[in-house]
Amino acid sequence: MSENQYRSVLLNRAAAIEASGADAGVAAHYGAPTREARKLFQGQAIADLSHLDVLELRGEDRQSWLNTLSSQSITGLKPGQSSQALLLSVQGRIEHEMKVLIDTDRVLLIVEKDCAEPLQKFLESMRFMLRVELTNLSSTHGVLGAVREIPTCNDLVWRNPWPEISTGGWAYSRADHPGLERPWFLHVVELERLAEAVGEEELAGTMAVESLRIAAWEPRFGFENDDKTIPHELDWLRTAVHMDKGCYKGQETVARVHNIGHPPRRLVFLHLDGSMHTLPAPGSEIKLGERTIGKLTSASLHYEAGPIALGVIKRNVDPEAVLSVVDGESVYPASQEVIVATDAGQTAGRFTGFLRTPPTA
Instruction: Give a yes or no: residue 255 inside a domain.
Output: no
Examine the domain organization and report whether 158 and 289 are in the same domain: no
Cα–Cα–Cα angle for 278, 283, 289, nearest 5°?
80
Instruction: Give a yes or no: residue 225 inside a domain.
Output: no
Which residues touch 184 (CB under 8 Å, ≥6 apart)?
145, 146, 147, 159, 160, 162, 216
Q: Beta strand pairing status for 185-190 and 141-146?
A: antiparallel
Could you read off the pLDDT of 217-262 as tens digits, one per residue?
999 999 999 999 999 999 999 999 999 988 999 999 999 999 999 9
DSSP E strands, the chain: 17-18, 27-29, 46-48, 53-58, 82-88, 94-102, 107-111, 133-136, 141-146, 157-159, 185-190, 203-204, 265-272, 285-288, 291-302, 306-314, 323-327, 330-338
Instruction: Give a yes or no: residue 358 inside a domain.
Output: no
pLDDT of res. 352: 46
Rounded Cα distance between 291 and 287, Å, is: 5
pLDDT of res. 40: 98
Examine the domain organization and report whether 208 and 278 are in the same domain: no
Examine the pLDDT at 211 and tell me if it is beyond 70: yes
Examine the domain organization and report whether 140 and 46 are in the same domain: yes
Q: Which helix (H) or strand (E) holds 210?
A: helix 206-215
CATH number of 328's domain: 2.40.30.110
Which residues touch 283 (CB under 8 Å, ≥6 apart)?
295, 296, 297
Examine the domain organization and report whether 179 and 120 are in the same domain: yes
Instruction: Give a yes or no: residue 250 inside a domain.
Output: no
Examine the domain organization and report whether 153 and 14 are in the same domain: yes
Could you read off the pLDDT of 141-197 as tens digits, one per residue?
999 999 999 999 989 999 999 999 999 999 999 889 999 999 999 999 999 999 999
Instruction: Give a yes or no: residue 354 inside a domain.
Output: no
Judged by DSSP in three states, 146 sits in strand
pLDDT of res. 349: 60
Examine the domain organization and report whether 52 and 179 are in the same domain: yes
How many structural domains comprise the chain? 2
Examine the domain organization and report whether 162 and 311 are in the same domain: no
Domain endpoint, select from 158, 191, 215: 215
Examine the domain organization and report whether 188 and 325 are in the same domain: no
Examine the domain organization and report whether 288 and 202 are in the same domain: no
CATH number of 25's domain: 3.30.1360.120
CA separation, residue 361 to residues 2, 94, 166, 167, 354 (Å):
45, 29, 11, 9, 21
Instruction: Give a yes or no: residue 224 inside a domain.
Output: no
Could you read off the pLDDT of 258-314 as tens digits, one per residue?
999 999 999 999 999 988 889 999 999 999 999 999 999 999 999 999 999 999 999
Examine the domain organization and report whether 191 and 308 are in the same domain: no
Could you read off the pLDDT of 331-353 as tens digits, one per residue?
999 999 999 999 999 998 654 44
Examine the domain organization and report whether 76 and 175 are in the same domain: yes
pLDDT of res. 356: 53
pLDDT of res. 329: 95
Q: Which domain holds residue 293?
A: 264-339
Examine the domain organization and report whether 162 and 273 are in the same domain: no
pLDDT of res. 99: 98
Could you read off the pLDDT of 108-121 as tens digits, one per residue?
999 999 999 999 99
Q: Which residues of 131-166 are buried (b: 16+ CB within 10 A; e: fewer)?
A: ebebebbbeebbbbbbbeebeebeebbbebbbbebb
Instruction: Give a yes or no: residue 348 inside a domain.
Output: no
Instruction: Give a yes or no: residue 165 inside a domain.
Output: yes
